[in-house]
């Protein structure tokens, strides 16, 4: 049997991580793990409870009493929070604009990383996030850091919103994406950063098929 490796895909908001991670996982029949969904699920629950997002103690109490399951679904990954599906709820603009404040806390990250490492214990995973290559799976056989200009990323999200029939403001999206990147890259604990041994792919002028092809080449080289 072929070796089942771990593939880490990191990068800033809306760089295309989950889109390509899902396709690569399907092609290899690996498990896809969207770690951003875990931070989003905690943020959603904390907001529902009226928790202060600057209180690490309160957030870790909530997280310790929270189950977050990621399951393969017909339209991609399903997210269950305490057994209830929240796949769409965690994509609201309220959660999107608050999640980075939850993700700064060291104890929250420690618990999330522990859970993420448990998901990956047997290999055969494609995991995307911000700190996968640097902290969650430092020994991943393939590490990719996806980039694209903020204009391109905002435009992609704008097109996606319009296709889904959601209201969308391109300039606002650009500002929100840049603000999230700033918090994620400047936080003290496990900031968004390319791992030294990650391969950087600037996707600004690449298609999804191009990007998947490049990651598959890296993966197949390691699988042998």
Ligand X SMILES: Nc1ccn([C@@H]2O[C@H](COP(=O)(O)O)[C@@H](O)[C@H]2O)c(=O)n1
Binding positions for ligand ATP, rule: CB under 6 A: 11, 13-19, 36, 156-157, 160, 203, 206-208, 211
- Cβ 15 to ligand ATP, closest distance in Å? 4
Select 29 or 205, whichever has its Cβ closest to ligand ATP.
205
Contact between 130 and ligand X per CB under 6 A: yes
- Owner of token pair 């968004």: 192
Select 38 or 212, whichever has its Cβ closest to ligand X.
38
Select 28 or 144, whichever has its Cβ closest to ligand ATP.
144
Judged by DSSP in three states, 144 sits in strand
- Cβ 89 to ligand X, closest distance in Å? 13
Please identify, among the stretches 57-65, 96-104, 202-210, 214-222, the one whose residues bind ligand X according to the rule CB under 6 A. Answer: 96-104
What residues contact residue 4 under an 8 Å CB cut-off, 6+ apart?
Answer: 30, 122, 123, 124
Write out the H or E segment, with its range, that includes residue 9.
strand 6-10
Contact between 40 and ligand X per CB under 6 A: yes
Contact between 108 and ligand X per CB under 6 A: no
DSSP 157-223: HHHHHHHHT----HHHHHHHHHHHHHHHHH-SSS-S---TTPEEEE-TT--HHHHHHHHHHHHHHHH
- Owner of token pair 């310790």: 64
Contact between 21 and ligand X per CB under 6 A: no
- Cβ 13 to ligand ATP, closest distance in Å? 4
Contact between 191 and ligand X per CB under 6 A: no
Contact between 111 and ligand X per CB under 6 A: no
Which single residue brings its beta carbon nearest to ligand ATP?
Answer: 16
Contact between 137 and ligand X per CB under 6 A: no
In DSSP terms, 160 is beta-bridged to none
Q: Express the helix, strand and coil content of the chain in percent, nearest 5 each.
A: 50, 15, 30
- Owner of token pair 């990068």: 11
Question: Could you tell me whether strands 76-81 and 84-85 are parallel, antiparallel, or unpaired per DSSP bridges?
Answer: antiparallel
Select 58 or 174, whichever has its Cβ closest to ligand ATP.
174
Select 30 or 157, whichever has its Cβ closest to ligand X.
157
* Whether the Cβ atoms of residue 13 and residue 23 lie closer than 8 Å to each other: no
Candidates 129, 158, 177, 211; binder of ligand X (CB under 6 A) is 129
Q: Which two tokens stand for residue 6?
A: 């771990």
Binding site for ligand X (CB under 6 A): 13, 35-36, 39-40, 99-100, 103, 129-132, 180, 184
């Amino acid at each position: 049997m072929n070796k089942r490796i771990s593939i880490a895909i990191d990068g800033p908001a809306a760089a295309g991580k989950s889109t390509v991670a899902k396709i690569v996982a399907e092609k290899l029949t690996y498990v896809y793990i969207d770690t951003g969904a875990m931070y989003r699920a905690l943020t959603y629950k904390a907001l529902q409870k009226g928790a202060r997002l600057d209180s690490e103690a309160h957030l870790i109490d909530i997280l310790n009493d929270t189950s977050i399951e990621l399951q393969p679904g017909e339209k991609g990954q399903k997210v269950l929070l305490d057994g209830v599906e929240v796949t769409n709820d965690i994509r609201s603009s309220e959660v999107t604009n608050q999640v980075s404040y939850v993700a700064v806390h060291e104890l929250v990250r420690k618990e999330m990383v522990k859970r993420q490492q448990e998901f990956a214990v047997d290999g055969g995973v494609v995991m995307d996030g911000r700190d996968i290559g640097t902290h969650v799976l430092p020994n991943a056989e393939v590490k990719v850091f996806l980039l694209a200009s903020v204009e391109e990323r905002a435009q992609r999200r704008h097109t996606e919103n319009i296709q889904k029939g959601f209201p969308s403001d391109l300039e606002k999206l650009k500002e929100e994406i840049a603000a999230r990147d700033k918090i994620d890259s400047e936080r003290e604990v496990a900031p968004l950063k390319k791992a030294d041994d990650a391969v950087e792919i600037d996707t600004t002028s690449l298609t999804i098929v191009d990007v998947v092809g490049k990651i598959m080449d890296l993966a197949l080289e390691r699988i042998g």
